[in-house]
Structure 1
């Protein structure tokens, strides 16, 4: 035994021995912090393996820098590098505790001081166990100071240092390959920093964040106020006159937006074994006070849900690659619906039963001016309350109601559902509808989760009526994006009752619901062609909000004279006459492949030019942060530092609001609820 200890001691007294000890201690410490300080949602053997080893490549690379230097300097550099990595780890522990997200260089740069983003003083946030982040540094210093380990003055061969560097990069490549197989588009379609950390590690996340911030800064630095000229010209030329039949019909009313996750238009009035998939939504769709659009398309790209939100709140498109909310949400200047309505007396709130960091919502919603963000920390959680990406819809709606009735009126509230999300999982207790029988295991349960969402909506609608909110609100329902991707062509053909489907069919399959409802509104099925980019102008005109000077790329869907061109993110488009998909043009009415005449080709080229211009100018606004150069009359630029979405802070603000502006449902009934929320959710029985 003594021989083993002597041998070990001898090895540790070498440069390589001390280096390996430093790497092992740092990696072990970091793994413990991963498991105890962060909630990374690790699932399956692959993710568990990557979490355990993902810190090794960057530790070898960074600590290996010291090996290129001579003598005692090598040791001091290893300690300094270890200390700097530990500081980054420590800062993320504190930031994650407050925001359930990792610190980005964009946030650091945007705030100037990280502490500006923390809702509490540092002393209140820190826990004694957080200093575990520095445990290995302290231990190594003690070992050196007490000469348990002695510094090796012998030269360290450069080729060995180079070998370690090459090994580190090779391991990084292998790690990324495994990670990308388990989660495709990990870096190109970034939707949650938790994913990057659990797959690649906190150091690789730092590098990616620095790269993203540098890229954004470079684009932003090149932009100038003159870049807005072509944008303003395009927007001005394509503004529509308001429709007097609908303009201001919902003026002063609450706005309740229900985000129907992955919900496609074909589900409306669709039946399986003679049963309606969505009976509640079908009735709402046909209601005499509901305007329903049957040629309304999603227009998302890789950002999917985040792209839909971007269009809904800003009438700006998502990006050609990645997510605008993730990449630009924290730093850009926006003139979004919550901020504009807030300056018209509205209280704004977003409701979502998932972690606030997903799609960078916690930062983006501050940039958009949301007063409140009720995320997962505001909801009671039990293992059977959630499925897939978060809280089940019936429980989500029930638990959101208590916050909804506390919001000062008028309010602008967006509720994001989750259960009808791929992979369309539901426990047996909640399945009361037959699956389709296409033979595609991904597609067949889709109608079951859609039916569950419909039941949840029906319960929520009943609550709104009993609480007195139904008559005082403009209800908006929209599907955010497709639920069944084009990769399932045989199953889609069966769902559409066709022998085979073309690219035309797939383009038409991208329709999603859009409905607006308020008592007294002249309802009916509206056949105009439009998409998510058009939602905000439509809402503003219904609310009587002057929208003529805003930089928005959509048009009011209720306007009588409007360009009915629906741009898809890949540059294809649909109009009432033509559908262009994958280079082929189809007759929209018949689906037949078109051999265009010169006159038709001229119109197709004109439509294509409109689509290309619309997309490119929207990208210019987002990527160049051009709205910082554009001051809307009577609009006050959003101050992100005013907002904090932590549970304790949010509840304090709600209580204060009840006193300062006692217009909420609860305040008007002296703190008593006006309705009992009723749900048949089996988890609550």
Structure 2
């Protein structure tokens, strides 16, 4: 009896349909294993477990079923090719998810040329040997065919049966979506979280939906009209916060420095390793009597990470749910950004970045934002020892950037983007004088070392500002752009937080990043208000004495008594002083206690969720439709990209001409002599 079963099974495998079913089964098994071991999808309950197990089946039948329309060896070759392509897709998502806690999107793939610089070093850290298991079934199948354990069936396969397989795949997809919708209503209309789509529908269905969304976004711009701005303006008229009289205009006429701390999280402030402060200088700056330090300030980025942070910081517009707005819309859209606003109020505006100008499409986007100057890697002397990871080491970057800062006519707005504290947190031995943490996670443990180096570089720059007199004439804004340690390092995060284990509440609170504002005479202290990167622009403008009640900004002044403390995350989750919501989990923010909301709490949560969803959707409409082309507020002039050039020779010539016209720079006030002798650094590469 057993022999008969083995014989029938062997005969089945030697048929086209039998081999096809084997390929489908093995593919579905490996996909399910990847779901469970390589991603954190938050599966809960029997229905979600069932859907996760079966969701690879419809797409596998559809894609692999293409091969059934062909005959002979070609059919088998196509099954192997399709299986290989599918496996590469899973493999790529495993690597991307490990670093970004998200899935690849068309926007990310299209913009990969802008973010791939030095990616090879990151891949070495991201890649695990076990990731290659997704190709194991292909190796097994090829071996079975090569050694004739399974023989190729040359019998023609009827097209109507192939078509039947295709129809069955679509029916299963429809049934799967129906079941998913009963467990998660509005799955494809309300959610901003890609984890939900993959959990309920699968990786292939997510990819198809993402392509549909991307094409829909492209069509939105062509269909947009001026009246689309009406709902945006109506919403903002009711949400703007009045300036706080105590702080309004306190930094009027001051220079503005925006110091971008790469991958720097709030937990590092006052954090110690082996009894030593990781960031003693930033700690002192945070607690300075003239610094307002926010300890409940969150990053709000998605796939765009640093570019999303810049978009929010300088435009008070959210980044996109997929991809990067700077990459996709930086050159073509109209903006009302901080550089343009301040440039039209007499400021010189400049951005500084120690990597290639095309990174995140900055060289194009910055023109749309109205930056007079963009000092990228081509403006600095470079040697192999000067760079690490994604560009110039911070100590060298700050020193070399200062050479151009001293030439900027005052007042100026200057943004400096640091790089050394960037994943995978590489630093040579001669610059490492701080102990790594001992979580056992090779990605996490060197994080404090590069953060410590950044802190030292920050201190050197602050000393230069003090020596030149710039410190007393400037407002210094310091912020962390996004997380440095992703949620995929839970055991290590628990150790860093001195906890046995962590939950979704802990991970939500872990998304806090520093935000500090320092200016002479400013009444400082630690402010416990809840806010995020979307709130930076209105806060800065009010401090500079600019009410700015007309430009499109979705954030509110953090210092205003009317500040909206509902912090929206890009996936639709949120944090408020009362509630923290992550997926379907709700916690009390003050205690971290998870709750099952009662009737009153449900109404409150629904109101907050409606606000979050509305705000994210309206911001997306502004970017997708390029709606700001239809709206020019009173007192603001649209930016003409042709007015700006970042070509090295022309830009430096423009800077010289600007100094002659307005001899207000530090260098001009120093009798046209350089102040670089006042810059002191212990960077070993410069000795």
**What CA distance in whole angstroms lies between the structure 2 residues aligned with 1:251 and 1:531?**
23
| Alpha-carbon distance between aligned partners in 2 of 1:554 and 1:535, rounded to the nearest angstrom | 7
Corresponding residue for 1:465? 466
Deviation at 1:563, TM superposition (A): 2.0
SS at match of 2:374: strand
Q: Deviations over 1:40-60 (max 9, x none)?
A: xxxxxxxxxxxxxxxxxxxxx
Indicate yes or no: 2:496 matched with 1:576: no
Counting only pairs closer than 5 Å after superposition, residues 109-508 of structure 1 correspond to structure 2 as: 188=108, 190-193=110-113, 217-508=218-509
CA shift for structure 1 position 673: 2.4
Cα distance change of structure 1 residues 277 and 606 upon mapping to structure 2, 3 Å threshold: same
Gaps of 5+ in 1: 1-164, 200-209
Q: Using the alignment, how far apart are the partners of 1:442 and 1:313 within structure 2? A: 31
- CA distance in 2 between partners of 1:327 and 1:609 (Å): 27
How far apart are the structure 2 equivalents of 1:261 and 1:602? Answer: 38
Q: Which residue is 1:600 aligned to? A: 601
Cα displacement (A) at 1:187: 5.1
Q: CA deviation at 1:602?
A: 1.2
Shift in Å, 1:233: 1.2
CA distance in 2: counterparts of 1:506 and 1:631, whole angstroms: 40
C-alpha offsets along residues 370-404 of structure 1, whole Å, 9 cap, x if unaligned?
A: 00000010011100110001100000000000100
* Deviation of 1:190 (Å): 4.9
Q: Is the 8 A contact 1:192 1:358 kept in 2?
A: no
1:477-496 Cα shifts (integer Å, max 9, x gaps): 00000000000000000000
Tell me, what secondary structure is at the counterpart of 2:413? strand
**2:117–2:390 Cα contact (<8 Å) kept:** no
Equivalenced residues, count: 516
Query: Cα offset for 1:595?
Result: 2.2
Matched, 1:560 2:480: no
Specify whether residues 179 and 502 from structure 1 end up closer, same or farther in structure 2 by C-alpha distance, changes over 3 A only: closer
Q: Distance in 2 between matches of 1:563 and 1:195?
A: 33
- Check whether the contact 1:348–1:370 (CA below 8 A) recurs between aligned residues: yes
Cα RMSD (Å)? 2.8
Give the Å deviation of 1:547.
1.4
Partner Cα distance (1:433, 1:344) in 2: 44
Q: Quick check: 1:530 aligned with 2:450? A: no
Q: CA deviation at 1:218?
A: 2.2
Bigger CA drift: 369-378 or 184-193?
Answer: 184-193
Counterpart residue number, 1:668: 669
Question: What whole-Å deviation, never above 9, does each CA across 1:261-289 have from its counterpart, x for those lacking one?
Answer: 00000000000000000000000000000
> For residues 429-475 of structure 1, what are the alpha-carbon distances to aligned partners after superposition, in whole Å with 9 as ceiling and x for unaligned?
10000000000000000000000000000000000000110000000
Is the CA contact 1:191–1:303 (under 8 Å) kept in the aligned structure 2?
A: no
Measure the CA separation in 1 of the matches of 2:111 and 2:407.
Answer: 31
In structure 2, relative to structure 1, the CA distance for the partners of 1:497 and 1:545 (3 Å cut) is same
Taking the aligned partners of 2:601 and 2:85, their CA distance within structure 1 comes to: 53
| Partner residue, 1:48 | none
1:589 aligns with 2:509: no
**Partner deviation per Cα, 1:225-261 (whole Å, 9 max, x = no partner):** 1111111111111111110000000001000010000
* Cα offset, 1:363, TM superposition: 0.4
Q: Deviations over 1:197-221 (max 9, x none)?
A: 999xxxxxxxxxx999986652211
Q: Name the SS of the counterpart of 2:678 in structure 1.
A: coil
Counterpart in 2 of 1:677? 679
Partner of 1:207: none
- Select between 189-198 and 303-312 the one with higher mean Cα deviation: 189-198
Moved over 6 A (4+): 165-183, 195-199, 210-215
- The 8 Å contact of residues 289 and 522 in structure 1, kept in 2 or not, is answered as yes
Partners in 2 of 1:212 and 1:368 — Cα distance? 26
Secondary structure, counterpart of 2:650 in structure 1: helix
How big is the shift at 1:193? 2.4
Kindly indicate whether the alpha-carbon contact (under 8 Å) linking 1:292 and 1:525 is maintained by their aligned counterparts in 2. yes
Aligned counterparts, 1:75-94, within 5 A: none
For structure 2, the residue ranges without an aligned partner over 5 or more in a row are 1-77, 97-103, 120-210
Instruction: Give per-residue Cα distances to partners, 1:508-535, cap 9 Å, x unaligned.
Output: 0000000000000000000000000000
Structure 1 residues 667 and 213: CA distance shift in structure 2, 3 A: farther
With over 3 angstroms needed to count, the CA separation of the structure-2 counterparts of 1:376 and 1:171, relative to structure 1, is farther
Q: CA deviation at 1:597?
A: 2.4
Residue 191 (structure 1) shift? 4.4
| Contact 1:192–1:360 (CA under 8 A) maintained in structure 2 | no
Contact 2:386–2:393 (CA<8 Å) still a contact in 1?
yes
| Distance in 2 (alpha carbons) for counterparts of 1:558 and 1:211 | 41
Q: By how many angstroms is 1:562 displaced?
A: 2.2
Query: Secondary structure of 1:307's partner?
Result: helix
Which residue does the alignment assign to 1:123? none
CA separation of 1:281/1:248 partners in 2, compared to 1, >3 Å: closer, same or farther? Answer: same
TM value normalised by structure 1: 0.72
Q: Within 2, Cα distance between the matches of 1:181 and 1:504?
A: 24
2:115–2:359 contact (8 Å) kept in structure 1 = no
- Is the CA contact 1:190–1:323 (under 8 Å) kept in the aligned structure 2? no
8 Å Cα contact 2:107-2:328 kept in structure 1: no
Q: Distance in 2 between matches of 1:663 and 1:511?
A: 38
Change (3 A) 1:189 1:555: farther
Please, what TM-score do these two structures have when normalized by structure 2? 0.72
Distance in 2, matches of 1:378 and 1:287, equals 33
